[in-house]
Structure 1
Amino acid sequence: MYDKSDPRSALNAPTATPKPAPTTFAGAEYGHFHADAPQVDDADGRTWLTRGQNFLVAYTEARPGAVFSRIDQPDEYVALLPNRDTAATVSAGSDTVSSDGYALIVVPPGDSAVTLPEGGILVRIFSTVAADLAAAASNAASYADQHPNVPAFEPWPEPAGGYRLRAYSLDVPDEPGRFGRIWRTTNLMVNFLPPQLGPRDIHKLSPHYHDDFEQGSLALEGSFTHHLRWPWTFDMTQWRADEHALCPAPSLCVIPPPAIHTSRGMEPGVNQLVDIFSPPRIDFSLKPGWVLNADDYPMPAPAAAAAE
Structure 2
Amino acid sequence: MYEKDDPRSSLATATTPRPDSGAAIAAPQYFDFHRLASPDAGTPDGRTAIVRGQNVVLVHTDARAGDDLDNGTLDGELAVVVTGDSPAFSVITDDGATLIDAPGLVVVPPGASRIGVHGDGLLIRLVEATEPAWRDRAANAGAYAEDHPRVALLQRWPEPPGGPAVRYYRLADVPDDPARFGRIFRTRSFMVNFLPEVTGPRDPHKLSPHTHDDFEQLSLAVRGEYVHHIRTPWLSDSTGWRDDDHVRLGSPSVAIIPPPTVHTSAAADPGVNQLIDIFSPPRTDFSAKPGWVLNADDYPMP
How high is the TM-score relative to the length of structure 2? 0.94
Could you tell me which of 227, 230, 237 is aligned with 2:229? Answer: 227
Following TM superposition, where does structure 1 have runs of at least 4 consecutive aligned residues deviating by more than 4 angstroms? 13-17
Deviation string 1:196-243 (CA, Å, 9 cap, x unpaired) is 111011111110000100000000111111000011112111212111
Give the drift of 1:151.
Answer: 2.3
Output the CA distance in 2 between the equivalents of 1:112 and 1:95.
10
Give the drift of 1:44.
Answer: 7.9
1:105-120 → structure 2 map (5 Å cutoff): 105-120=106-121
Match for residue 65 of structure 2? 64
Output the CA distance in 2 between the equivalents of 1:126 and 1:240.
31
1:92-241 → structure 2 map (5 Å cutoff): 92-171=93-172, 172-241=174-243
Output the CA distance in 2 between the equivalents of 1:34 and 1:5.
36
Of 218-227 and 110-119, more deviation after overlay is shown by 110-119
Aligned to 1:237, the other structure's residue is in SS state helix
Give the drift of 1:13.
Answer: 4.2
Structure 2: runs of 5+ lacking an equivalent: none
Which AA in structure 1 matches 2:6? D
How high is the TM-score relative to the length of structure 1? 0.92
Give the drift of 1:110.
Answer: 0.1
Deviation string 1:126-184 (CA, Å, 9 cap, x unpaired) is 12022332211111111111113012221111112111100010223111310000000
Structure 1: runs of 5+ lacking an equivalent: 301-308
Match for residue 285 of structure 1? 287
Distance 1:238 1:170, change over 3 A: same
Give the drift of 1:11.
Answer: 0.9
Output the CA distance in 1 between the equivalents of 2:50 and 2:78.
14
Q: Pairwise CA RMSD of aligned residues?
A: 1.8
Output the CA distance in 2 between the equivalents of 1:35 and 1:84.
19
> Are positions 1:257 and 2:275 aligned together?
no
Match for residue 24 of structure 2? 24
8 Å CA contact retained: 2:202, 2:268? yes
Give the drift of 1:254.
Answer: 0.5
Output the CA distance in 2 between the equivalents of 1:105 and 1:48.
20
Give the drift of 1:289.
Answer: 0.5
Give the drift of 1:41.
Answer: 6.2
Distance 1:25 1:84, change over 3 A: closer
Output the CA distance in 2 between the equivalents of 1:23 and 1:48.
30
Aligned to 1:70, the other structure's residue is in SS state strand
Output the CA distance in 2 between the equivalents of 1:8 and 1:195.
18
Output the CA distance in 1 between the equivalents of 2:25 and 2:13.
23
How many residues are aligned here? 300
8 Å CA contact retained: 1:95, 1:165? no
Which AA in structure 1 matches 2:282? P
8 Å CA contact retained: 1:88, 1:101? no
> Are positions 1:10 and 2:20 aligned together?
no
